[in-house]
């Protein structure tokens, strides 16, 4: 059990160290940076309330991840957040400069936003959080087989939305400098 | 890990690296814990023509200063109702079937109240707004595109093509722009600044990020995101925009730095507004040169 003294400071340290990581996952869930910020902040408030009760060996990432998934699900059901409709996506891309890379990022987020919520959540948790099918299934309250199906359909839909150059886009990205997304 | 999964990981990395400036999760968490929050849900109205208003969430602090959302929306409305000069750089970064276009530098003058305006760029594009119409100069690219697009090609004798214009005080994202898209969805070299200001009025998320200044003015910079859906006849268009907007002490938009997405196009645009209240005089091209 964490001591009372320094709880807030430990929580603040956690947010500083891991906040951006969860913000990046949240933007894949929501398709929009501002909605992602709202989701993460709302989830962090809930985590903060639970912080004193967390076991000393608990993984706050896992707690926050569950809170975010559940909060996003409830927002989706209530349609409290209107997610921006995505336009038709272009067929080609280049990754040569900052504007192109920003635009590519916007396109990928838009494509994700067009997927059904469950497919989006599975793709974000599998390929941005690197969770196993079993871990994703436990978070979403479904079977690993369902996770596999959502992943397969989501990947196929992304490929279709991003055009026939899906792999070319990724090849370009493998050549671009990579940031540590942790 | 197979190739597809590897590809998705790389694309997700690109999609998540450009965290907007001014995001401070810890400050937001503390603010949420302290402030009394009142959330108002605006109705979304859809019609077969005109503008669809975006759903907005407005957070009011315990201190009754205008919210960032209100500041930006008021600035967009105020700027869109006065005459101004603009200069801009823009680039169509992604476009269906075409590679990224080079940066273009544009300038123009607009008087929405009198429904006149003019804009030119260094790629040879010209647009004139006179009353109910928008006149687009037919460049070689536009003429060539008209021959490969569905519909009637621009005749050789025509130097201008005419479209309906909704340029007017307080006009928002316009069906005129939509009409242009209907003809030339891949060649939007011009933009109607009123469209962009109108899009600001549909902002759903606005956050103050710091001070802003320019020659002869100081003010505040805001980060925003906005989305709306346009309907005009058989055409439907979803438009979204995000970026930063600088508002001066008089509550006018001074700069708009945005990434816009619509109809398979992603456009980067950086516009400065100034010379508010200047007189604007624009004439329509000779009727003998205009095709509609």
Which CATH number characterizes residue B216's domain?
Answer: 2.50.20.10
B98-122: pLDDT as tens digits:
555 667 788 889 888 888 889 888 8
* Contact criterion met (CB < 8 Å) for A85 and B240: yes
Q: Using an 8 Å CB-CB cutoff, list chain A residues near B67.
A: none
Q: Which residue of A has its CA nearest to B97?
A: A91
Looking at the fold, whether A142 and A114 belong to one and the same domain comes out as yes
The CATH number linked to A27 is 1.10.1740.10
* Contact criterion met (CB < 8 Å) for B7 and A88: no
Looking at the fold, whether A64 and A109 belong to one and the same domain comes out as no
Q: Is residue B240 predicted with pLDDT exceeding 90?
A: no
Overall domain count for chain A: 2
**Which of B12, B37, B262 best probes binding to A when mutated, by most A CB atoms within 10 angstroms?**
B12
Q: Which of B10, B225, B263 lies closest to A87 in CB terms?
A: B263
Q: Is residue B175 predicted with pLDDT exceeding 50?
A: no
Average pLDDT, chain A: 78
Q: What is the pLDDT of residue B231?
A: 55
Q: Using an 8 Å CB-CB cutoff, list chain A residues near B8.
A: 123, 127, 155, 158, 170
Q: What is the pLDDT of residue A97?
A: 60
Q: Using an 8 Å CB-CB cutoff, list chain B residues near A84.
A: 225, 227, 238, 240
Last residue of a domain, one of A78, A110, A139: A78
Q: What is the mean predicted confidence (pLDDT) over B226-252? A: 75
Q: What is the mean predicted confidence (pLDDT) over B251-268? A: 80
Tell me if B18 is assigned to some domain.
no
Q: Is residue B291 predicted with pLDDT exceeding 50?
A: yes
Q: What is the pLDDT of residue B151?
A: 62
Structural tokens at position B195? 């469209």
A20-74: pLDDT as tens digits:
999 999 999 988 887 888 899 999 988 988 888 887 677 899 999 999 999 998 8
Q: What is the pLDDT of residue B43?
A: 27
Q: Which of B108, B77, B55, B153 is nearest to A78 (CA)?
A: B55
Q: What is the pLDDT of residue B221?
A: 92
Looking at the fold, whether A62 and A106 belong to one and the same domain comes out as no
Looking at the fold, whether A105 and A140 belong to one and the same domain comes out as yes
**pTM for the whole thing?**
0.56
Tell me if A125 is assigned to some domain.
yes
The percentage of chain B sitting over the pLDDT mark of 70, rounded to a whole number, equals 66
Q: Which of B4, B7, B29 lies closest to A15 in CB terms?
A: B29
Would you call A40 an interface residue with chain B, using a CB distance cutoff of 8 Å? yes
B146 to B143, B161, B163, B204: CA distances (angstroms): 5, 11, 15, 37
**Where is pLDDT greater, at B69 or B167?**
B69
CA A4 to chain centre: 31
Tell me if A150 is assigned to some domain.
yes
Q: What is the mean predicted confidence (pLDDT) over B133-159? A: 77
Tell me if B20 is assigned to some domain.
no
Tell me if B19 is assigned to some domain.
no
Sign of CA dihedral A110, A113, A116, A122: positive
Among A83-87, B110-114, B254-258, the range with the most confident prediction by mean pLDDT is B254-258
Q: What is the pLDDT of residue A86?
A: 39
- The ipTM is 0.81
Average pLDDT, chain B: 72
Looking at the fold, whether A61 and A112 belong to one and the same domain comes out as no
Would you call B263 an interface residue with chain A, using a CB distance cutoff of 8 Å? yes
- Domain residue limits at B263: 25-291
Tell me if B229 is assigned to some domain.
yes
Q: What is the pLDDT of residue A182?
A: 39
Q: What is the pLDDT of residue A32?
A: 80
Structural tokens at position B92? 């169509």
Calpha distance A71→A52 (Å, rounded): 21
Looking at the fold, whether A126 and A59 belong to one and the same domain comes out as no
Give the range among A8-17, A85-94, B62-71, B121-130 with minimum mean pLDDT: A85-94
B34-86: pLDDT as tens digits:
653 333 322 222 222 223 333 233 333 333 456 888 888 888 888 888 899 98
Per-residue pLDDT band for B275 (boundaries 50, 70, 90) equals very high
Q: Which of B175, B214, B218 is nearest to B194 (CA)?
A: B175
The CATH number linked to A148 is 1.10.10.10
- Domain residue limits at A141: 98-175
Tell me if B11 is assigned to some domain.
no
**Where is pLDDT greater, at B18 or B231?**
B18
Q: Which of B25, B94, B229 lies closest to A85 in CB terms?
A: B229
Helix A33-50, helix A7-30: angle, nearest 10: 140
Would you call A23 an interface residue with chain B, using a CB distance cutoff of 8 Å? yes
Looking at the fold, whether A70 and A118 belong to one and the same domain comes out as no
Tell me if B13 is assigned to some domain.
no
To the nearest whole Å, the CA of B18 is away from the closest chain A CA by 7
Q: What is the pLDDT of residue A52?
A: 82
Give the range among A1-5, A34-38, A87-91, B71-75 with minimum mean pLDDT: A87-91
Overall domain count for chain B: 1
* Contact criterion met (CB < 8 Å) for B4 and A159: yes
């Amino acid at each position: 059990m964490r001591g009372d003294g320094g709880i807030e400071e430990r929580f603040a340290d956690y947010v500083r160290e891991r906040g951006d990581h969860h913000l990046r996952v949240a933007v894949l869930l929501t398709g929009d940076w501002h909605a992602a910020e709202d989701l993460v902040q709302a989830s962090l408030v809930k985590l903060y309330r639970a912080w004193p009760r967390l076991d000393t060996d608990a993984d706050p990432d896992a707690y926050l991840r569950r809170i975010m998934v559940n909060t996003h699900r409830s927002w989706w059901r209530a349609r409290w957040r209107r997610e921006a409709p995505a336009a038709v996506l272009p067929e080609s891309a280049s990754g040569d400069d900052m504007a192109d890379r920003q635009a590519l990022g916007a396109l990928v987020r838009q494509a994700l936003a067009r997927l059904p919520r469950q497919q989006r959540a599975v793709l974000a948790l599998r390929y941005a959080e690197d969770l196993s099918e079993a871990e994703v299934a436990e978070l979403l309250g479904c079977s690993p087989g369902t996770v596999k199906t959502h992943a397969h359909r989501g990947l196929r839909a992304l490929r279709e939305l991003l055009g026939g150059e899906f792999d070319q886009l990724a090849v370009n990205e493998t050549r671009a400098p990579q940031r540590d997304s942790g | 890990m197979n190739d597809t999964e590897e590809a998705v990981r790389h694309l997700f990395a690109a999609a998540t690296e450009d965290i907007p400036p001014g995001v401070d999760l810890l400050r937001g968490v503390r603010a949420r814990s302290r402030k009394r929050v009142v959330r108002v849900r605006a109705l979304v109205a859809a019609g077969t023509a005109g503008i669809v208003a975006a759903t907005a969430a407005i957070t009011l602090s315990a201190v009754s200063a205008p919210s960032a959302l209100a500041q930006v929306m008021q600035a967009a409305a105020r700027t869109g109702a006065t005459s101004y000069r603009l200069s801009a750089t823009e680039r169509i970064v992604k476009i269906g079937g075409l590679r990224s276009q080079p940066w273009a530098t544009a300038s123009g003058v607009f008087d929405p109240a009198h429904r006149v305006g003019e804009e030119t760029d260094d790629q040879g594009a010209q647009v004139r707004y006179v009353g109910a119409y928008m006149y687009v100069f037919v460049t070689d690219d536009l003429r060539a595109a008209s021959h490969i697009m569905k519909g009637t090609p621009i005749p050789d004798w025509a130097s201008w093509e005419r479209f309906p214009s909704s340029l007017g005080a307080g006009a928002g994202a316009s069906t005129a722009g939509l009409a242009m898209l209907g003809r030339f969805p891949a060649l939007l070299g011009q933009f109607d600044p009123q469209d962009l200001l109108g899009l600001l009025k549909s902002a759903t998320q606005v956050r103050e990020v710091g001070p802003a200044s320019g020659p002869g003015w100081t003010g505040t910079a805001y980060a925003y995101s906005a989305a709306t859906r346009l309907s005009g006849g058989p055409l439907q268009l979803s438009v979204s925009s995000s970026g930063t907007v600088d508002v001066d002490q008089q509550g006018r938009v001074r700069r708009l730095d945005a990434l816009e997405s619509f109809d398979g196009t992603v456009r980067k645009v950086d516009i400065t507004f100034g010379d508010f209240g200047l007189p604007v005089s624009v004439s329509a091209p000779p009727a003998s040169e205009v095709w509609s």
